[in-house]
Amino acid sequence: MILIDGKKLAQEMRVEIKSGVEKFKLERQRDIGLAVVLVGENPASQVYVRNKIKACEEVGIKSYAEYLPADSTEECVVELVKRLADDKNIDGILVQLPLPKHLDADRILKLVPTEKDVDGFSEENTGKLCMGKDCLVACTPNGVMKMLERYGVETRGKKAVIVGRSNIVGKPMAMLLLNADATVTVCHSKTANLKEECLRADILVSAIGKAKFITADMVKEGATVIDVGMNRDENGKLCGDVDFEAVKDKCAYITPVPGGVGPMTITMLMYNTLQAASRR
C-alpha cells in the first residue's frame, strides 16, 4: 500500500507556483491579486480564509481580504463583487461559502467573471469542463487529478467510481476522470447496490461527508482510494468517508485524512489564480 501524501505534494507544488508567480511578476511588471470575500463570522469560513491568505503570502500572490458583517444587504455584497470584477489589479475572486441565508448565493456568484472564477464553479467553466475545453477547474477535484498524476496512477481504460454528486466535487471529478479516459460511474444516495458498484472500482473517490462510510467489503483488492471526506468520528477525531484502518491493506494507493486531499485544495486555488493571471 502506498500512502498518497497530500501535504508533501502540496508543498512541492507551492514551490513550483511560487516560481511561476515570480516569473509572471518579472515579465508583466505587476502583482497577481486574489480577492477573498467573507460575509459574516462563520468560524470554519474564517479559518479557511486565514489559510487562503497565508497560502497567498507563501507563493507571492497579493491577497485582498474583504470582510462584510453578517447582516449586510444583498445590494452591498453585489456592489463589492462588481467592484472587484472591474478592478484590474484583481486576477481571481473567491466568495467564501456558505453565505448568510438571506443572500442569494447564485446571483452573487454569477457576478464573478468567468476569467476570475478561481473556484471553478461558474456555469461557463463547468460547461467548458464538460466539453473537455481549457478552463479554470474546481480546486478539490483538480487537486485529486494532480495526486493521481504525480503518483503515476493510470486512469486510461480504468473503472472509476465516485460516491457523491455535488457540483463542487462529485460532478467535476467525474468530468475530469472522463477526460482522462477513465470509464466513470457516479453513485449517490439513491444508487441501488452501492457496495457492488464500489467493488468494481479501480479508482474509488468518496465525497459524501459520512464518517467511515466506505468499509473494507466495498473496496476491490488493489484499488486506488481517494477520500475527500472531512468528518468527525465518535470520539470527535478528524476522519474521512473511508474506514482507513480497515481499508488500507486492500489498496494499492490511499489518501489519509487529514493530510490527503485537504492540503491540495488551497494549493490548487493558488494554481488557479496563477492560471487566471497568465490568461488575462
Is 86 known to be catalytic? no
Joined together, the cell numbers standing for residue 265 give 485544495
190, 178 Cβ separation under 8 angstroms: no
CA angle 81-113-229, nearest 5°?
85
> In whole angstroms, what is the distance from residue 42 CA to residue 103 CA?
15
78, 108 Cβ separation under 8 angstroms: yes
Neighbouring residues of 166: CB distance < 8 A, sequence distance ≥ 6: 207
Select which of 96, 202, 227, 241 is catalytic: 96
Joined together, the cell numbers standing for residue 136 give 479554470
Joined together, the cell numbers standing for residue 149 give 498524476
Classify residue 120 as exposed, middle or buried by CB count within 10 Å of its CB (0-12, 13-18, 19+).
buried
29, 58 Cβ separation under 8 angstroms: no
Task: Residue 132: count other Cβ atoms within 10 Å of its Cβ.
Answer: 11
Select which of 52, 116, 128, 158 is catalytic: 52
Is 52 known to be catalytic? yes
Select which of 119, 227, 241, 243 is catalytic: 119
Is 119 known to be catalytic? yes
Catalogue the active-site residues.
52, 96, 119
